[in-house]
Structure 1
């Protein structure tokens, strides 16, 4: 019995030390706006999703203004496969005809968004789900005729997101936009970057299923731990990146050029990667800084 008590005491002291070490970071980030883009395999695994949602709730409890922007590419792929609709990508963007657009709306707005809102609200009355259509938050236009209903966000109207934040909730935003002729499939990485721009976010976090930015997707040793905005611009213009990373890095560059102070790409499958990034000196993922 005594040995067990000793272990419990040691464990309690270790937890107390962790909280004490995190205190300066908590103080620094209190009241700051954090935009988190969530996607990839980390969103498909129910256990990982609960962990990420718990971390987001902890950020909120520590006084941060958290905005969650999500995609749902794997879930869209699954629905399209069941419907017998072929999936095709150009430069990392899903070619979206009318049938595909209906599937995108069904999955992102009707399923994934509500799952995330439900999971966050298990901790209390914490989340409100919207899409870029609500309040014309994502005013969009077509990217290219060959991509169909893939949209470029022409303007973000942040009023609805700010209203939800001011009321003490976490806005959960599905990456669907609207234009004069209907709905658009908006890349979630780009959408998160645009939201960060509009809110002048203190930090933009991409929670994905890779450890960060690789200069060469086939070489694990090419993972970049830190990069300046100028270096990111240079890499983007080099044409050497894997196609799926191009829209992500482009959104990083644009967000930082237009207001976001820092951007980080993290692996959402790594336990509590979001908390480690926010509250410790341990560098994980890839951090982008202004200089």
Structure 2
């Protein structure tokens, strides 16, 4: 029998070391509930989408209950442009008149949601697509008259999501809410945060196309590795955030206030970022945690990369 060369042995040893590092995390995470908000370029690129979908399938095989929440901002912008409709934002939220709301529904529920369900099912994942209006999952009210049909979530019903999970399926939730007067465009970051709160999720993951939170978006060295709940509130009060990071960090602070133990912003364009975050000692992205130490006996990370 021909012996393997040194390079092959080193590669095999590296794989064994990776598996050994992952084992305690696999044991601790089994049975946990993770809410993953999926958006940005990680969702638009087909190759990246397949990679993320395969990682989610692995999480399910490892015993994690996954709830996938998505937006679809770039796809909405594209269709609005094709229809010669205005694209306008205020404080990171889309200004949504009645015509824009119809586009939001068509894109999120009719296109993006079904594409993600199809992709997950192709990997054998048994996914079910729902919108926030199904089962009154996301009940909303007007957020600001200047934003039109942008909704603030006033109540979350987890009954449908829990039923889907208990039946062995993965719920894929489009961020469209419902109210007494019809449908609302709900920010996907806020939707993921509120669902995580209502489900008492163990971890909330924002899978996007940035490495994490930067104190200065123009300075690559200003990436923040860790923030506590108190530090997150201080950051919000400083008015140093802009664009889409405002509703994201606000939803993170709300989730921490409601008892979600960990929230993380992860770059979904980085290969297998989900697995690196969940199953390695270092993790990746920006990790937001409670002020107090974790429960006794739980694994803790000293820092992120």
Aligned to 1:171: 171
CA distance in structure 1 between the aligned counterparts of 2:172 and 2:133, rounded to whole angstroms: 13
More displaced, 238-247 or 67-76? 238-247
Q: What SS class does the counterpart of residue 178 from structure 1 fall into?
A: strand
Q: What does the per-residue CA deviation read over 1:139-171, in whole Å, with 9 as the maximum and x for residues that have no partner?
A: 000101110000000000000001111111111
CA distance in structure 2 between the aligned counterparts of 1:120 and 1:12, rounded to whole angstroms: 30
The answer to whether the Cα contact below 8 Å between 2:57 and 2:125 also exists between their aligned partners in 1 is: no
Q: Residues 164-243 of structure 1 correspond to what in structure 2 (within 5 A)? A: 164-243=164-243
The answer to whether the Cα contact below 8 Å between 2:125 and 2:170 also exists between their aligned partners in 1 is: no
Aligned to 1:265: 265
CA distance in structure 1 between the aligned counterparts of 2:109 and 2:225, rounded to whole angstroms: 34
The answer to whether the Cα contact below 8 Å between 2:31 and 2:65 also exists between their aligned partners in 1 is: yes
More displaced, 15-24 or 237-246? 15-24
The answer to whether the Cα contact below 8 Å between 1:156 and 1:198 also exists between their aligned partners in 2 is: yes
Distance 1:217 1:6, change over 3 A: closer
The answer to whether the Cα contact below 8 Å between 1:225 and 1:283 also exists between their aligned partners in 2 is: no
Deviation at 1:19, TM superposition (A): 1.8
More displaced, 216-225 or 43-52? 216-225
Aligned to 1:29: 29
Structure 2: give runs of 5+ residues left out of the alignment: 292-305
The answer to whether the Cα contact below 8 Å between 1:196 and 1:259 also exists between their aligned partners in 2 is: no
CA distance in structure 2 between the aligned counterparts of 1:117 and 1:181, rounded to whole angstroms: 28
Aligned to 1:48: 48
Deviation at 1:21, TM superposition (A): 1.9
Q: Residues 247-286 of structure 1 correspond to what in structure 2 (within 5 A)? A: 247-286=247-286
Deviation at 1:13, TM superposition (A): 4.4
Aligned to 1:94: 94
1:73 aligns with 2:82: no
Q: What SS class does the counterpart of residue 218 from structure 1 fall into?
A: coil
CA distance in structure 1 between the aligned counterparts of 2:2 and 2:117, rounded to whole angstroms: 44
- How many residues of Structure 1 are paired with residues of Structure 2 in the alignment? 291
Deviation at 1:4, TM superposition (A): 6.0
CA distance in structure 1 between the aligned counterparts of 2:13 and 2:189, rounded to whole angstroms: 40
Structure 1: give runs of 5+ residues left out of the alignment: none
CA distance in structure 2 between the aligned counterparts of 1:238 and 1:14, rounded to whole angstroms: 44
Deviation at 1:240, TM superposition (A): 1.1
CA distance in structure 2 between the aligned counterparts of 1:35 and 1:115, rounded to whole angstroms: 19
CA distance in structure 2 between the aligned counterparts of 1:126 and 1:262, rounded to whole angstroms: 27
CA distance in structure 2 between the aligned counterparts of 1:236 and 1:172, rounded to whole angstroms: 29
Deviation at 1:124, TM superposition (A): 1.5
Q: What SS class does the counterpart of residue 74 from structure 1 fall into?
A: helix
Aligned to 1:244: 244
Instruction: Give the alignment's TM-score, normalised by structure 2.
Output: 0.92
The answer to whether the Cα contact below 8 Å between 2:91 and 2:242 also exists between their aligned partners in 1 is: no
CA distance in structure 1 between the aligned counterparts of 2:213 and 2:6, rounded to whole angstroms: 43
CA distance in structure 1 between the aligned counterparts of 2:221 and 2:61, rounded to whole angstroms: 37
CA RMSD after TM alignment: 1.4
